[in-house]
Amino acid sequence: MTKIEINDATQVISLGKGGEISVDVAKLCESAAVVNYIFTYGLKQMLNDVHASEKDADAKKGLSQKKLDSLYRGEVAQSRASSGDPVAREMKAMAEADVKAKLKTLGRKVSEIKKDVLASVIEKQLEANKEAYRKAAEAKLAIKPKGVEVGEEDVLKLLDL
């Protein structure tokens, strides 16, 4: 059996509108049955998520196999910017535009760069400039940062009243 390394014994899990919950991962890992259940459930969920909007059965299987292959290669984190988070999507789009513009100024074509290399460079660009991209994306999407209350005056302006 492969030894599981726990980097952080406590993980804070977001429950969406339900808030957050603190999980003692080390305590969960004390039971092989619990680890097996969580692993199997998570793997099944992950492989199902990659094809959630696909209708064709063969395409579904292909997408799941592609994800599984990436896991076999040790690629655990993939961009979640395509999720329902419009700010994250916009941040990634901005980083991608910046990388492509830089390549163009260097006289390179995007088509010359392998897709996985380009994706990795975009992710590094995003990570290196995360706060600037977040601020720009929020401004572009007119989203107020958490903790800022929207007052009556703001709502009246939105409604042109």
Per-residue pLDDT reduced to its tens digit, 115-127: 888 999 999 999 9
Rounded Cα–Cα distance for residues 11 and 4 (Å): 15
pLDDT-derived band at 141 (thresholds 50, 70, 90) equals confident
Pick the closest to residue 99 from 89, 109, 85, 87 (CA basis): 109
Q: Which residues pair with 13 in a beta bridge?
A: 21
Highest mean pLDDT among 48-57, 74-83, 137-146: 48-57
> Tokens standing for 116?
């996985």
Distances (CA, A) of 18 to 14, 21, 43, 49, 158: 8, 9, 24, 21, 28
Amino acid identity, position 37: Y
* Whether the model pTM is above 0.85: no
* Tokens 């290399």 belong to residue: 117
Angle at 62 between CA 119 and CA 50, to 5 degrees: 60
Mean pLDDT of 8-30: 83
Contact yes or no for 25/7 (Cβ under 8 A): no
Give pLDDT tens digits for 68-115: 888 888 776 554 444 557 888 889 999 999 999 999 999 999 888 888
Q: Which residues are CB-neighbours of 12 under 8 A, at least 6 positions away?
A: 20, 21, 22, 23
Contact yes or no for 122/96 (Cβ under 8 A): yes
Least confident of 5-9, 13-17, 35-39: 5-9
CB atoms < 10 A from the CB of 81, how many? 19
